[in-house]
Amino acid sequence: MIPAEFQSKIQELLPSEAEAFFQSLDTDSPTSIRFNPLKSYSSKLGGEKIPWADNGIYLSERPSFTLDSAFHAGAYYVQEASSMVLEEVLKQAVDLEEDIFALDLCAAPGGKSTHIQSLLSEGSLLVSNEVIKSRANILSENITKWGLPNTVITNNDPSHFDRLNIQFDVIVVDAPCSGEGLFRREPEAMNEWSPEAVKLCATRQQRILADIWPAIKPGGVLIYSTCTYNSLENEENLQWLNEQLDAEGISINLNNDWGFTETETNGIKGFHAYPHKVKGEGLFIAAVRKTEGREKKLRKQKKPMNFASRQEIDSIKPWLMNPEKFDFIKHNDLFIALPNHWKEVIHDINSNLYIISEGINIGRLKGKKLIPNEALAFSTELNLEKASTFELNLEETLNYLRKESFDFESMPNGWNLITYKGLGLGWANRIQQRVNNYYPTNWRIRISS
């Protein structure tokens, strides 16, 4: 049941369109996915292109993604179409040809972070943060499977980022909100909605924005989005950003044919996606620039990083296609490859924030032999000439992903990369007549075909 007070707000907001809006809530939510541009495979999934996202498509029906091994390999991400408009906003607000230091502040479960990763230049660095620890774990899994090496995953409160000795070029804040835009896809969200919840969310959003503002460099960009419709959480927060933090608008122009509704507040453009006009769920998005403030200067950290020895590096390097682009550190006995272009920045992050994961987890050495980490199986940097690959069909890969028995008769002894349509899924180690499945237990799928 749609809350009466919400109905009144929509009738005020969209007086001539309210009936069409409410009718749209009774229609099925579109199903959409976004392909990983760095993982190519022959997909049977096809459909209408999403005009504001180069790699996004609508599907005519919703399949069981859990039973598609390509999904588990990071070949595509199931993402709501409206939210993919972040791509067009980023392209207009930021020069994506440059090497950028970016933060996705409220990143779980990972849709926006994997999207940003695909848009940034190879030499950029993304910090993907989630404040809630349990949600940070699913974020880490999704980013690991996406396979790009230029990301640090953190579990921090927004205020913690002011500890860094460097500021971000761009910060994306997909703020926790009252969830009005989810009413069609998740009708139970209506039970959580109230005018009081809206006010509470708006206050929390302003706290988040105030806490993260010092972490943006002068001239840097903040992209703010919510999945809600009301002005309190959207336009009034833009007004607050302008009046309290001197944020100024950035000229963003979306194609009128896409159906987004443009608003303007204190010179700052915002865009609404309404489900009766846009083929997607409810969304609001805007971009602002920080005009004032002092830029921080990166200082070297006193505590050195624990770099791998030359002998250890010689054992690790052959597993990567471009080892010269990375520094190798050792955390306990796990070897990690970090983009060397960002060495001092990553050192600063390690010294001041709580890290979930960073770069590429390569694995552990037993003598000179590498025991590969699960993350290496998904990495776009994995040297397939070094790894022994073992291709399985769909049914057998699903058995592997369930950690059940699968046909390994023709598998050679030793470590093997399990693949589906050429996509890495994880590792298995054959020892004579038995095979050990190293797919992470907490990732295994739990439904049958």
pLDDT digits (tens, 9 = 90+) for 301-342: 767 889 999 999 999 999 999 999 999 999 999 999 999 999
Q: What is the pLDDT of residue 301?
A: 73
Q: Which amino acid is at 449?
A: S
Q: Give tens-digit pLDDT for 111-122.
A: 999 999 999 999
46 is in an annotated binding site: no
* Residue for token pair 């050195």: 304
pLDDT given at position 45: 86
What is the average per-residue pLDDT within 339-351?
Answer: 95
The set of residues, in sequence order, having a beta carbon less than 8 Å from that of 203 and lying 6+ positions away, is none
Label residue 298 by pLDDT band (50, 70, 90): confident
pLDDT at 43: 83
Known binder of ligand: residue 107?
A: yes
In this prediction, residue 447 carries a pLDDT of 87
**Could you confirm whether domain 388-449 is CATH 3.10.450.720?**
yes
Q: How far apart are CA 105 and CA 162, in angstroms?
A: 13
Considering the candidates 84, 100, 131, 227, report the single residue annotated as catalytic: 227
Residue 106, annotated as binding a ligand: yes
For residue 42, what pLDDT is reported?
A: 79
Judge if pTM exceeds 0.95. Answer: yes
**Structural domain boundaries of the chain?**
4-289, 298-378, 388-449
pLDDT in tens, 242-262: 999 999 999 999 999 999 999
CATH of the domain spanning 4-289:
3.40.50.150
Task: Tell me whether residue 157 is annotated as binding.
Answer: yes
> Does the annotation list 111 as a binding residue?
yes
> Catalytic: 201?
no
